[in-house]
Amino acid sequence: MIQAYRFALDLTAGQERAVVGHAGAARKAHNWALERVRAVMGQRAAERTHAIPAEQLTPSILWSLPALRRAWNAAKDEVAPWWRDYSKEAFNTGLDALARALKNWSQSRSGTRAGRPVGFPRFKSRRRSTPSVRFTTGTIRVEPDRMHIVLPRLGRLKLHESARAMARRLDNGTARIMSATVRRDGGRWYVSFTCEVDRAQRRPARPNSVVGLDVGVKHLAVLSTGEIVPNPSVSSLGKAG
């Protein structure tokens, strides 16, 4: 099964600048690719108004993550000459978000996606968008002290709380880290680990046993075994509220 672990981070000023830079790199890749997609879509729409045959239209752009990544790699030296300062996972974060958004919009438009209609992706603003970066490859680990983690290019980061619960599973081989996402939420930075976890299936001690339940007014419930569950007292309700 897939399980997430979330921890608050205690970043130094330098580390926070590095994380913000990685989030900015993700935003740059997302916006560049979106602008390219919009430009081609607009060009093809304009060409159709002039009755240009379909086979002569400007070639469309594939929206899959591999296709967007290939296009980015071909243009990054020109559009982001500073790209070497950041992990490739930062740019992949932005491209992956766009690929997912375009897929959701396309499926919503064609009626193959359930739920509310999905709008066309928008450009990410530095002020309004939530900064985040996701790592899926490279060095991702929990340090032996359980109070530090290591992420690609960001290095060793201090946790605000111990990660021993997750670390125990990693150590005994019952969990595997699939990705780590650093994200700012409510003015604080957090790291979320998505892990593949092996859990033993729990089996009831008496699988064939049956118990009846009668919900009443005098008592909260009466079980067929004779056990009575009393109604909560007014004082306990007041404390709970």
Half-sphere exposure of 82 (CA within 13 A, CB side): 9
d(CA 106, CA 124): 19
What pLDDT does 202 receive?
Answer: 65
What pLDDT does 234 receive?
Answer: 45
d(CA 121, CA 138): 29
Q: Which residues of the chain have pLDDT under 50?
A: 234-241
What pLDDT does 240 receive?
Answer: 41
What pLDDT does 241 receive?
Answer: 40
d(CA 74, CA 27): 18
d(CA 75, CA 69): 10
Give start and end residues of each alpha helix (H) in 50-197.
65-79, 88-110, 164-171
Q: Cα–Cα distances in Å, from 99 out to 65, 83, 106?
A: 6, 20, 11
d(CA 180, CA 137): 9
d(CA 172, CA 117): 44
User: Of 101, 96, 106, 165, nearest to 137 (Cα)?
Assistant: 96
SS3 149: strand
SS3 190: strand
> Hey, which bits of the chain come out as E strands?
2-10, 132-135, 141-142, 148-151, 155-159, 175-185, 188-197, 213-214, 221-223, 228-229
What pLDDT does 90 receive?
Answer: 97
At residue 240, φ and ψ (nearest 5 deg) are -65, -35
d(CA 149, CA 198): 22
pLDDT in tens, 56-66: 778 888 889 99
pTM for the complete prediction? 0.79
What pLDDT does 115 receive?
Answer: 87
What pLDDT does 218 receive?
Answer: 67
What pLDDT does 139 receive?
Answer: 92
What pLDDT does 43 receive?
Answer: 87
d(CA 15, CA 179): 20
What pLDDT does 217 receive?
Answer: 60
